[in-house]
Amino acid sequence: MNKLGQAGIFGVMMFVFAFIVALIVVTPLNDLLDDIRDVNSLDCGNSSISTGTALTCVAVDLTLPFFIVTVILSGTGAMFFRLRGR
């Protein structure tokens, strides 16, 4: 097998590894975010919170999608970086 094929297989393996690690980490991260949004912390369910607290709730809500997108893009980038032959 040539070096480009080996690099491609290695890149795919790294992508799969990163994806599996992300799937393992998502559940505890989701539980942590639920605890942050709870009534005892930010109280995001309350309609009379300040604008700053509401924006903080939005930022906390966007943490999980940003994490997933970052893992997918970094795995894909690593895979294509290996395929370029560097």
pLDDT in tens, 26-65: 999 999 999 988 888 888 888 899 999 999 999 999 999 9
What's the CA gap between 8 and 80, in Å, rounded?
Answer: 8
**Mean pLDDT of all residues in the chain?**
84
> Residues in the chain, how many?
86
Helix ranges (DSSP H) in the chain? 3-37, 51-61, 63-83
pTM for this entry: 0.72
CA angle 66, 85, 6 (to 5 degrees): 90
Query: For residue 45, what are its two tokens?
Result: 């369910």
Amino acid identity, position 49 = I
Structural domains counted in the chain: 1
Parent domain of 77: 3-83
